[in-house]
Amino acid sequence: MTLQKVLSYIRRAVDDYRMIEPGDRIAVGISGGKDSLTLLYGLHGLMRFYPAPFQIHAVTVDLGFDNLNLQEIQQLCDRLQIPYTIVKTDIANIIFQERKESNPCSLCAKMRKGALNEAIKAVGCNKVAYAHHKDDVVETMLMSLIFEGRFHTFRPVTYLDRMDLTVIRPLMYMSEADVVGFVNKFQVPVVKSPCPADGNTKREYVKELLKQLNQENPGVKERMFTAIQKGNLEGWRDYNGKQ
């Protein structure tokens, strides 16, 4: 997977859903994982030739785990000349020590997003780019069907009116396998999540389920993604541009 191919996926998503406008200041939420770092590389490359000029600013919410090392990410941002902000929090201590949450993911996500959004506004950004790829889109839809009984997934573009902030998802056309291929080829400095709940969630269950379905029925993931695009979900368009 080449950087040029990554850029083509991102350019297509940005154009199809009009994610970027001239003068945008876009925060890139950096977890340290493969997806967010691929997005950072991609948006940095897009900046060089996209007709609507924009800037990016990398932001990481440090949950407070002792074994999180962000030095390589800082070095990467310095090399790419991308401003990088690390937000220190006590979220890990609150969730795992004070509250001792048995199902920590929902509360953690809420607190992490709150801290991220505040930091984004503080550095003067009007948009934030999340690194959700095609597999995430389909997995979220399956989770919604299985656990909530509705056909739903997140939108490519979402406006948060309370924060006056727009969320964009430029990796939505890129598969997780493509992300892995890019990270391996370019030796991207991925930081493993120190969270004790990592890999033990409903999403991981659905990820394995989708993997099995796709092995037994090749192409099912792509057909599910097409169903989302054509399913009249708010914020989505089909291949003919209808919404």
CATH of the domain at 115: 3.40.50.620
CB 91 within 8 Å of CB 64: yes
List the beta bridge partners of residue 238: none
User: Do the domain assignments include residue 235?
Assistant: no
Q: What is the pLDDT of residue 199?
A: 57
* Residue 15 to residue 24: CA distance in whole angstroms: 15
Mean residue pLDDT across the chain? 90
User: Do the domain assignments include residue 243?
Assistant: no
Assess whether pLDDT exceeds 80 at residue 197: no
Radius of gyration of the chain (CA): 18
Assess whether pLDDT exceeds 60 at residue 233: yes
* Residue 205 to residue 166: CA distance in whole angstroms: 30
Domains in the chain: how many in total? Answer: 1
User: Do the domain assignments include residue 237?
Assistant: no
Assess whether pLDDT exceeds 60 at residue 240: no
User: Do the domain assignments include residue 202?
Assistant: yes
CB 221 within 8 Å of CB 135: yes
User: Do the domain assignments include residue 239?
Assistant: no
CB 171 within 8 Å of CB 39: yes
Residue 167 is part of which domain span?
Answer: 3-229
Full-model pTM: 0.91
**Mean pLDDT lowest for which of 22-26, 126-130, 239-243?**
239-243
Nearest to 90 by CA among 116, 120, 64: 64
Assess whether pLDDT exceeds 60 at residue 243: no
* Residue 168 to residue 163: CA distance in whole angstroms: 14
pLDDT in tens, 106-143: 788 888 888 999 999 999 999 999 999 999 999 999 99
Q: 70 CB contacts (<8 Å, ≥6 apart)?
A: 32, 60, 62, 86, 191
Assess whether pLDDT exceeds 80 at residue 88: yes
CA distances from 97 to 100, 104, 109, 122, 172 (A): 5, 11, 17, 29, 35
User: Do the domain assignments include residue 236?
Assistant: no
Assess whether pLDDT exceeds 80 at residue 198: no
Average pLDDT over residues 30-37: 92
Assess whether pLDDT exceeds 70 at residue 174: yes
Q: What is the pLDDT of residue 48?
A: 92
Three-state DSSP string of the chain = CCHHHHHHHHHHHHHHCCCCCCCEEEEEECCCCHHHHHHHHHHHHHHCCCCCCEEEEEEEEECCCCCCCCHHHHHHHHHHCCCEEEEECCHHHHHHHHCCCCCCHHHHHHHHHHHHHHHHHHCCCCEEECCCCHHHHHHHHHHHHHHHCCCCCCCCEEEECCCCEEEECCCCCCCHHHHHHHHHHHCCCCCCCCCCCCCCCHHHHHHHHHHHHHHHCCCHHHHHHHHHHCCCCCCCCCCCCCC
User: Do the domain assignments include residue 238?
Assistant: no
User: Do the domain assignments include residue 14?
Assistant: yes
